[in-house]
Amino acid sequence: MEIIKGYVDHIIYRNQSNAYTVFVLQNEEGELSCTGYFSFIEEGELLELKGDYVSHPTYGLQLQVTGYKECEPEDLVSIERYLGGGAIKGIGQALAGKIVGRFREDTFRVIEEEPELLAQIRGISERKAMEIARQVEEKKEVRNAVIFMQKYGISTSLGMKIYQFYQNNIYRILEENPYQLADEIEGVGFKTADEIATKVGILRDSDFRIKSGLYYTLQQSASEGHTYLVQEDLLNRTKELLGVPVSQVENHLIDLSMERKIIIKNEDSQVRIYPATYYYMELNVARMLDDLNYKFKVFSSALESRMEEIESEESIILDGVQKEAVFEAAQNGVMVLTGGPGTGKTTTINAMIRFFQKEGMSILLGAPTGRAAKRMSEATGYEATTIHRMLGVNKGPEEEESGFSKNEDYPLETDVVIIDEVSMVDLPLMSGLLKAIIPGTRLILVGDINQLPSVGVGKVLEDVISSGVFPVVKLTEIFRQAKESDIVVNAHKINKGEAVVADNKSEDFFFLKRQEASTIINVVLLLIKEKLPNYVHATSYDIQVLTPTRKGLLGVDNLNIELQKHLNPASRKKKEKLFGERLFREGDKVMQIKNNYQLEWQVKTKYGMAVDSGLGVYNGDIGIIKAINDYEESVEIIYDENKSVSYPYALLEEVELAYAITVHKSQGSEYPGVVIPLLSGPRPLYNRNLIYTAITRAKSCVTIVGSETVFQDMIKNTMEQKRNTTLSKRIQELHEGANK
């Protein structure tokens, strides 16, 4: 560890989002390039740095700073240099020289205590003098606050975010109730707040701690898809988290209710506890669907005539159920079309589109992900976008809110909205969509009810169908062409709970029986590198490994390490970045793992000129690492449609390798080839829904490698991880109320 002192000569690079800075330090020994995270430093400041020397392959010897403190300038030259170095806006080198020349060693005392004296200097008005004093004081306060928070393990970048929110109240909050941070600041979890509370001496049975632990437990249940927890379950989970008796926990439920953070509902012989956000979101989604549930007057004879025109023009023949779907879409404000692969959903959607066009109506097509939207566009021949892009990102919304430019005040200008892959749509996204649709617009929801539910909170498609309020048309017949695909045929067998014959006589469905994890990994590698690319006419990167779990030898984490070694091995020509336990390399296949509404993307020409841009990268988006820039501390990733996104290193927590992904993350996507490694795992997860979803992601070929016993057991296993939601109930309540 080295300790050196010197002046910031000039700043080369600063990342505003995470405070990462590259600058040149100057002292008696000369100039030195330094890198690190600095809250507020400016050219001319005197710093004492702690760190280690590193040799950068491009920029030579650098000091990698791990700690620092800002020093008061030690002489007149230093004071002048600091003031004129850009730290204080409005003071250049010439004016700094005049100030120091007048007040000498007393300069900082005058600025802080008697700033009006600065007005004695030509070029400084009284107003400017007060502004200089304000800047000096403000900078001092921010610096002191960030340093104060570092004592509690809060990073510089997070500390700056916290200070901007609380200003000088942060000292009181940290000492009285650090749990407030967990409730109000994204990036501060309960465990971080709990560690701070321990350091400041807050007792384990503190009211603050118990209330925050209760609310945290309730919020965490949303990651399992729940919009509420039964009271007994919530109390037991909180007891395990906090290590305090249930009786103490229960006493604070009323407090949280009075603070309007939770809603307590006694219904269906249960006491249900909701985060207030999700309770009202379910209620509002139900209300908005009810508002759209309008009956349009359409004459059957006119409908029949239109359908005959469409069949003739498109050279198709619709069966009775498909025609029923078009009729329901024409006559209802809200309708649902559901069905498995090969049952004619796309043909039916196309017929709907043609019908509405003939009626002179405008139509918008959307899907939850970029890949699903692209599939919809290719299948229908009409432009489809992601729901996020359809609504337009207006600001950075929280996970449970919509922050879209299209809303109840600025609705979508269309007559019909058709959304595909609705099984993937969670409650917040459905809420954002419905806010932008005005009554009188037709909403058609399309999805496969047998797939896994959304990654996010809720089970919207299932609840809308089970409410029994809206017309639902289910396509069940497999069409002739689809019957030629064993992927389709076997998917329907799985859905019915029928055993699938694994005799490898198929051309698109294979089962390679292996019992050892290491052997399975070797077979997977052989398939992806050598066997499948030519067979499915795609690259190794296009073939997707889908696995049920994250942990274990056949989990996402380990498989990605093994696949990276063989599909994108280390090379002197490829830069790398180790972020925590994740190693990223140029050329890696990666996935965004959370919605980030603030990230900017650009589409560039081959000469680097931006021809399109926008905001938002979303959970499940897959791309390729194009470049790693150590100097700028950034990673450039290219996503679908050639969208380029620059990630500062601090945001790499939102990205992971994607050679293998979980089945949940594959929803809405389709791949030319899918490989599924399969050995035993947790029974609630290894169920029919999961294997059905995995198989239906393949377009040309699916290969399962592993235990046939596990595979057949999954087909029989209808045990699902139950989600606590009441959207269906809220829809029914509103409908019954309207009928009364």
Binding residues for ATP: 342-346
Report how far residue 619's alpha carbon sits from residue 368's, in angstroms, rounded to the nearest whole number: 10
Report how far residue 608's alpha carbon sits from residue 642's, in angstroms, rounded to the nearest whole number: 12
Q: How far is CA 136 from CA 78, 91, 205, 302, 472, in A?
A: 16, 12, 42, 76, 66
Residues 6+ apart with CB under 8 A from 82: 42, 44, 45, 46, 73, 96
- Cα-Cα-Cα-Cα dihedral sign, residues 27, 29, 32, 38: negative
Cβ proximity of 515 and 707 under 8 Å? yes
Instruction: Enumerate long-range contacts of 689-693, CB under 8 Å, 24 or more apart.
Output: 689/450, 689/451, 689/452, 689/720, 690/452, 690/548, 690/663, 690/714, 691/494, 691/715, 692/450, 692/451, 692/491, 692/494, 692/495, 693/451, 693/452, 693/663, 693/666, 693/667
The letter for the amino acid at 23 is: F
User: What's the DSSP call for residue 270?
Assistant: E
Name the strand (E) or helix (H) holding 615.
strand 610-617
The letter for the amino acid at 536 is: V
Residues 6+ apart with CB under 8 A from 140: none
- Nearest alpha-carbon partner for 335 in 428, 433, 441: 441
Which two structure tokens, joined as six digits, stand for 385? Answer: 């976008």
CA-based angle 351:352:355, to the nearest 5?
85
Cβ proximity of 196 and 177 under 8 Å? no
For the sheet with 544-547, list strands across it.
Answer: 509-513, 698-706, 671-678, 544-547, 660-662
The letter for the amino acid at 358 is: K
Report how far residue 525's alpha carbon sits from residue 554's, in angstroms, rounded to the nearest whole number: 12
Report how far residue 286's alpha carbon sits from residue 513's, in angstroms, rounded to the nearest whole number: 47
Phi/psi at 198 (5° precision): -60, -40
Phi/psi at 615 (5° precision): -115, 145
Binding residues: 342-346
Burial of 388 (0-12, 13-18, 19+ CB in 10 A): buried
Residues 6+ apart with CB under 8 A from 602: 610, 612, 613, 643, 644, 645
Name the strand (E) or helix (H) holding 691.
helix 688-695
Q: How far is CA 570 from CA 567, 576, 588, in A?
A: 10, 8, 11
